[in-house]
Amino acid sequence: MKTYVAAKLHGLVVTSAEIEYSGSATIDGALLDAAGIEPYQEVQVIDLQNANRWTTYALAGAPGEFQLNGGAALLGQVGDRCIVIAYQMTEKFEGAKVLFLEGNKVARVIEYPRAT
């Protein structure tokens, strides 16, 4: 088994940060659904403003929401653009959906093709 990208949200903008939380990333539930990321699924967050990268889990939030919770609230700030990646373990790459966002809304979608 190998670990491959399964879904990606590219250009998600941090809308809030809450240190007094047990830890996770709250992300617009419709975006999670569109990308195929489930609530409580492990995700990696990459902050494009400061190069911080961390692993957490996704929580479904309100439309347009991307809140950094717990310790992650110290790794980014409101207005930072981020990438959120979910992975899967499989024998071969099964393809992945990538949502490019503007203003935390889908601007375009591409699919990484399955391995042949």
Which helix or strand (DSSP H or E) is residue 6 part of?
Answer: strand 2-13
pTM: 0.94
Residue 99 structural domain: 2-112
Contacts of 84 (CB under 8 A, 6+ apart): 8, 9, 12, 25, 27, 37, 43, 44, 45, 46, 58
Q: Which of 16, 24, 40, 112 is catalytic?
A: 24
Q: How confident is the model at residue 13 (pLDDT cuts 50, 70, 90)?
A: very high
Please report the pLDDT score of residue 23 as a whole number. 74
Catalytic residue flag (residue 57): yes
- Set 22, 57, 87, 112: catalytic member: 57
Strand partners, 89: 3
What's the CATH code of the domain at 56? 2.40.40.20
Domains in the chain, number: 1
Q: Indicate the pairing of strand 105-112 with strand 53-61.
A: unpaired
